């Protein structure tokens, strides 16, 4: 157990809808990164949040957005869902500026878009 939690576990949405996924970071960590993992692929970096601001972004369109709260938890919002957004969404917790670079993943949210 990493201490990183995500909700919900599974979600089914219709194309065009909007979705919000949530993540609570591990105690002592201040940074949350979000990844998308399609079936049979490695996770792809979406963005990272540190000090409540986006601290880097991967090759994802603006309809993917996020928030970080003062308690370091985070949300991932996806607007105008497309079929290709069906994937496992992972958040990873880490300590920015610390000596140890590891990122620890939560259990993930499986999103299905129909």
Partner 1 sequence: QKEVEQNSGPLSVPEGAIASLNCTYSDRGSQSFFWYRQYSGKSPELIMFIYSNGDKEDGRFTAQLNKASQYVSLLIRDSQPSDSATYLCAVTLSGGYNKLIFGAGTRLAVHP
What residue has token string 């909700």?
A: 7
DSSP 99: S
Query: In the complex with partner 1, which residue's Cβ is closer, 17 or 41?
Result: 41
Query: In the complex with partner 1, which residue's Cβ is closer, 55 or 65?
Result: 55
Rule CB under 8 A: say whether 94 interacts with partner 1: yes
Residue 106 contacts residue 55 (beta carbons within 8 Å): no
Q: x/- site string to partner 1, residues 28 to 67, per CB under 8 A? A: -----x-x----xxxxxx--x-x----xx-x---------
| SS3 (DSSP) at 84 | helix
HEC per residue, 41-56: CCCEEEEEEECCEEEE
Applying CB under 8 A, the residues found at the interface with partner 1 are 2, 33, 35, 40-45, 48, 50, 55-56, 58, 88, 90, 92, 94, 96, 101-108
């Amino acid at each position: 157990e990493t201490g990183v939690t995500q909700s919900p576990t599974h979600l089914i949405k219709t194309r065009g809808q909007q979705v919000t996924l949530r993540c609570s970071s591990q105690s002592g960590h201040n940074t949350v990164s979000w990844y998308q993992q399609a079936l049979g692929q490695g996770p792809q970096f979406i963005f990272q949040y540190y000090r409540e601001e986006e601290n880097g972004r991967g090759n994802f369109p603006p309809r993917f957005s996020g928030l970080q709260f003062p308690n370091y938890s985070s949300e991932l919002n996806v607007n105008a869902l497309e079929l290709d957004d069906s994937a496992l969404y992972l958040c990873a917790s880490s300590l920015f500026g610390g000596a140890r670079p590891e990122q620890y993943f939560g259990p993930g949210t499986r999103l299905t878009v129909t």
